[in-house]
Amino acid sequence: LDPTHVCHMDGECAGNPFNLGGSYDAGFAKFYVYSQVFQNYAKAAKVTMFSIPSGVDGYGVNLGFETKALGSTVKASFGWGDFEDSHADNLTMKTYQTALGYNYPLSRRTTLYTAAGWIHNDFSDDYAAAKPTAVENDYEWICGITHKF
């Protein structure tokens, strides 16, 4: 839990985000949870689909797990969030996201990976009218190789 007022090197303050996360290794799988609650969070408003320069209020929760399967690791996560403009409560967004990943070790130092993700944003009518280019559904697929020296 981080109740402090966060300011960045450039002097911009992030509002008052509260973060809480944890993990549990059940032997057959590892489980993860992360949550954040914030007010007037200007930094988040610049990097999310919900772009409001004055900042946003809201919360987010992400649940995930990883487990061994067929000599590799399968990972999945599910998240949701609820945001509104810090100064206009008619500008809102709810977001739902999910991701699935797979790591396959080729050797002790080399791993292939792939992942796919989907984010659905549900904007208020007022926000959609103000930002007609806002993306409702965003999909991503990545793959690659990692080698540790």
Per residue in 51-107, pLDDT (tens digit) is 666 677 888 999 999 999 988 999 999 999 888 776 777 777 888 999 999 999 999
Taking the model in full, what pTM does it have? Answer: 0.74
Spatial distance between the Cα atoms of 66 and 23, rounded to a whole number of angstroms: 11
Strand pairing class (110-123; 137-147): antiparallel
- Give Cα separations from 130 to 42, 46, 138 (angstroms): 19, 16, 19
> How much is the pLDDT for 108?
93
Give the model's confidence band at 14: pLDDT under 50 very low, under 70 low, under 90 confident, else very high: low
Instruction: Kindly report the average pLDDT of the chain as a whole number.
Output: 83
